[in-house]
A and B are shown apart, each in its own frame.
Chain A
Amino acid sequence: MFKKILIANRGEIALRIIRACREMGIRTVAAHSTADANSLPVRMADQAVCIGPAEASKSYLSVPALISAAEVTRCDAVHPGYGFLSENAGFAEVCGECNITFIGPSPESIRLMGNKSVARETAVKAGVPVVPGSDGPLESDEAAVEAAARIEYPVILKASAGGGGRGMRIVHDESELLNSLKLVQAEAGAAFGDKTIYMEKYITSPRHIEIQVLGDKHGNIVHLYERDCSIQRRHQKIIEEAPSGALDQALREKMTAAALSLAKHINYHSAGTFEFLLDSKGRFYFMEMNTRVQVEHPVTEMITDVDIIKEQINIAFGLPISFKQHDVSIFGHSIECRVNAEDPEKFIPSIGTITELHFPGGLGVRIDSSIYQGYKIPSNYDSMIGKVIVHAHTRTEAIHRMRRALWEFHISGIKTTVPLLLKIMHSEEFVSGEISTRFIEDFLSRHGTHKNPV
């Protein structure tokens, strides 16, 4: 087994990886920026190496700094976590060239599925339904007009090199099209260094259903069922749950089969997630694939009792997946709430020192977070400070448990989105399960600003 793993990430996912490694007897090295010198992962890892200044481009996104850190500490593998370089095929390649195992899929898989329009084409070849769209990138203004007429408005323009909900624009009719195209091309060029745009039919009020898969280097591929991630604000997920109330057994079988078919088609290994849109008529369409572990992986772990990080490490080492498809089934229901250090009404990042902190606990409550009392939140990174995850026998019980957990969660010194999460958990809309990607927008406009969360 690997002797030492370099964690090329920070925050809660770095801690998650350290925990798995610790249990497996693998030494850990926390590569960190100056801003994270006092972070919990840095204190918990067996070794820590400062690799650069606070700016991610010079630290967590710096391939030479990370490889150098792995070399001087003699790590035999690197876990990239999520975000940062986790879906950077170049980084995966350099790791291979330096004899450091990249804990993730092959550079080829990352390249193939990382380009969103190529991923669409691959899905079509694998016989997986995709959202009606342009066949490949839009080559010209004329092509865009023609595609939109064929697909029918409303349409959505998307950056091929984009992801995580960025580089997108909805177009409602032809009069907006060319202007929107110019805008999204400029955005894509600035954010991803690639102006290539493709077009898809915009499905109104869909559900966002994703299927978790695991593949090993021996050709075995299994799925770990679905997650429903429909509750999003500006394409950023806020609440996720597993399983999805929108899937009956027949639909679940079709969707997991589609995910497995695509995974097998590209010979995928490591953890991966296939994202689909589900419309109100029960039709599903492949949207994109994430070739890494995801933020919301805990809800899947809670219902299947599979440790996804350990499986990733074993797979990277060359071991087969530790179970067979028939060994894993759905047990109970899990919900995750992402907690952000933000004003719960204005969503402006809240920076400061955590003066008081009490995490909820008890049966069926899991906290994935790297904050501690006295911790000063750095301003350089995203605002998510932790995840509250619950598991119970039924969705109703899970909701009650989440309400209790969020009620018990106490934090002073910074503002967090806990009051908003509590409000959602207590709402009829959430309890009813009638959820789509429009949920947050409708919820916030209906409930406006709130002063007294329940």
Chain B
Amino acid sequence: MDLEEIKKLIKLVEKSGIKELEIEEGGKKIRITKSDGEGYYAPQPGNYVPLQAHHLIPPAQASAPATDEAGKAPAEDKYHQVKSPMVGTFYSSPAADAAPFVKEGDMVSAGQTLCIIEAMKLMNEIESDVSGRIVKILPENGAPVEYGETLFKVEPL
């Protein structure tokens, strides 16, 4: 395993949804772990300015809007947000090799299953509460989601 190969592997891990990759070859072993941006930081001493929250995903429910949301065009606000009713793992398809329930651009009706959220080994089908067009699917397949997190932006009919 030479340096070039290792660099390629690092790029591969970075770009993919892989969190950790371990390869053993001819007695040599390499493990590459993707950092999820956690790090220790020192809280500001004696400073009452609230600290940065290292949320699982930037919070959709915090009273102060996350900067990326605030920076978006006002047009975004007209979209209906389908939010997660529970904390768990987001799956876009009913099974690993199956087609996703919906794609961006699809028309959906109220009550249609949009995704699955798995919690404690139970698969929960999440249904759309409105009819309309899927404008954006926010979480990646297999990503953890929290209660209240926006999963889909739908342009209602």
Give the interface of A toward B (CB within 8 A).
Answer: 27, 31, 34, 37-38, 42-53, 59, 64-65, 67-69, 71-73, 98, 357, 372-374
Contact = CB atoms under 8 A, between A and B. Distances in A.
A453 B55 CA distance: 43
Given A47-B38, A372-B48, A374-B48, A65 B147 contact: yes
A52 B85 CA distance: 8
9 contacts: A34-B61, A37-B53, A43-B50, A46-B54, A48-B54, A49-B144, A64-B120, A71-B89, A73-B144
B3 interface: no
Nearest to A31: B87
Interface in B51-81: 51-56, 59, 61-64
Given A27-B38, A65-B119, 15 more contacts: A37-B61, A38-B63, A42-B53, A43-B53, A49-B87, A49-B146, A50-B147, A52-B86, A64-B119, A65-B147, A67-B119, A71-B119, A73-B56, A374-B48, A374-B50
A357 B47 CA distance: 12
B103 to A, nearest CB: 24
Interface in B9-61: 38, 40, 43, 48, 50-56, 59, 61
A34 B147 contact: yes
B147 A43 contact: no
B148 interface: yes
A56 B122 CA distance: 22
Contact of A51 (B50, B59, B87): B87
A290 to B, nearest CB: 28
Interface of B: 38, 40, 43, 48, 50-56, 59, 61-64, 86-89, 119-120, 122, 144-149
A44 B51 contact: yes
A51 to B, nearest CB: 5
A74 B77 CA distance: 34
B87 A50 contact: yes
B43 to A, nearest CB: 7
Contacts of B122: 64
B63 A373 contact: no
Contact of B59 (A50, A65, A72): A50
Contacts, number: 94
B62 A37 contact: yes
Given A47-B38, A47-B55, A51-B146, A68 B50 contact: no
B7 to A, nearest CB: 28
A67 B87 CA distance: 9
Given A49-B56, A72-B89, A67 B120 contact: yes
Nearest to B143: A72
Contacts of A73: 56, 144
Q: Nearest 9 CB-CB pairs, A to B? A: A72-B144, A68-B119, A43-B51, A50-B146, A373-B48, A50-B147, A37-B62, A69-B87, A51-B87
Nearest to B49: A374
Contacts of A44: 43, 51
Contacts of B54: 45-48
A243 B145 CA distance: 47
A351 to B, nearest CB: 16
Contact of B120 (A27, A51, A68, A357): A68
B124 to A, nearest CB: 10
A98 B120 CA distance: 8
Given A43-B51, A65-B87, A51 B119 contact: no
Contacts of A51: 87, 146-147
A60 to B, nearest CB: 12
Contacts of A49: 55-56, 87, 144, 146
Nearest to B52: A43
Contacts of A71: 89, 119-120
Given A37-B61, A49-B146, A50-B146, A68 B87 contact: yes
Contacts of A374: 48, 50
Nearest to B53: A43
Nearest to B19: A74
A68 B146 CA distance: 10
A42 B64 CA distance: 14
Contacts of A43: 43, 50-53
A198 B60 CA distance: 48
Contacts of A46: 38, 40, 54
A37 B149 CA distance: 12
Contacts of B86: 52, 64-65, 68
A25 to B, nearest CB: 9
B67 to A, nearest CB: 15
A416 to B, nearest CB: 18
Given A45-B54, A64-B120, A52 B147 contact: yes
Nearest to A71: B120
Nearest to B90: A72
A270 B29 CA distance: 40
Most buried by A among B122, B146, B149: B146
B48 A48 contact: no
Nearest to A68: B119
A38 B88 contact: no
Contacts of A47: 38, 54-56
A117 B65 CA distance: 51
